[in-house]
Amino acid sequence: MLAMQKTGSNNLDIIAFRLRGQEFCVETTKVREIRGWVACTPIPKAPKDVLGVINLRGEVVPIVDLAGRLGMSPSAETERSAIIVAEVGPTIVGLLVDNVSDILTVSEDSVQPIPQMATQIATRYAEGMIAHEAGMICLLNLARLLEQGGHEATELHDAAEAT
């Protein structure tokens, strides 16, 4: 069963974004804000997909290269790059994406399961696929996506605040 935020009669609000020419989305209930790319401060010995930290109104927020986390080639920041600041439980993290494409309301019934032939990474991090007029959108499960790196992100957040 999918654990999603309903917006009324079986609808789901999502934020769609692009990574390496593919469409992904997350639930809006997990998103604090969307901001343009800003340079971040690197953290020594951080995992490859953790780009560093930024100061977000006095709060130290780790920035994760979402493409790298998903096993894609690392992102190259551009003027169209965006940071999706997400909150998953106690963890606040910025997710670097190529660009945010849309904010949509879709029917909960439009979320289809990931095909069994998909890779283990796809089934681990994806909640399902949404058929949309623009194509297929992969709904990411941020809790599972940050589970492996979530502890790292929390540790980086704590380490950065201590300096």
Instruction: List, in order of start, the domains of the chain with CATH numbers.
Output: 26-162 (2.40.50.180)
Distances (CA, A) of 103 to 17, 65, 76, 119: 9, 21, 23, 27
User: pLDDT tens digit string along 1-16?
Assistant: 234 444 446 899 999 9
- Number of neighbours of residue 148 by Cβ within 10 angstroms: 14
Residues 6 or more apart in contact with residue 128 via CB below 8 angstroms: 2, 111, 112, 113, 114, 139
At residue 59, the pLDDT reads: 93
User: pLDDT tens digit string along 20-74?
Assistant: 999 999 999 999 999 999 999 999 999 989 999 999 999 999 999 999 998 888 8
- Report residue 158 as tokens: 């704590």
Q: What is the mean pLDDT of residues 116-136?
A: 77
Distances (CA, A) of 82 to 5, 37, 38, 65, 76: 23, 5, 9, 11, 11
**pTM of this prediction exceeds 0.85:** no
**Confidence band for 95, pLDDT divided at 50, 70 and 90:** very high
Q: Are 128 and 111 in contact (CB under 8 A)?
A: yes
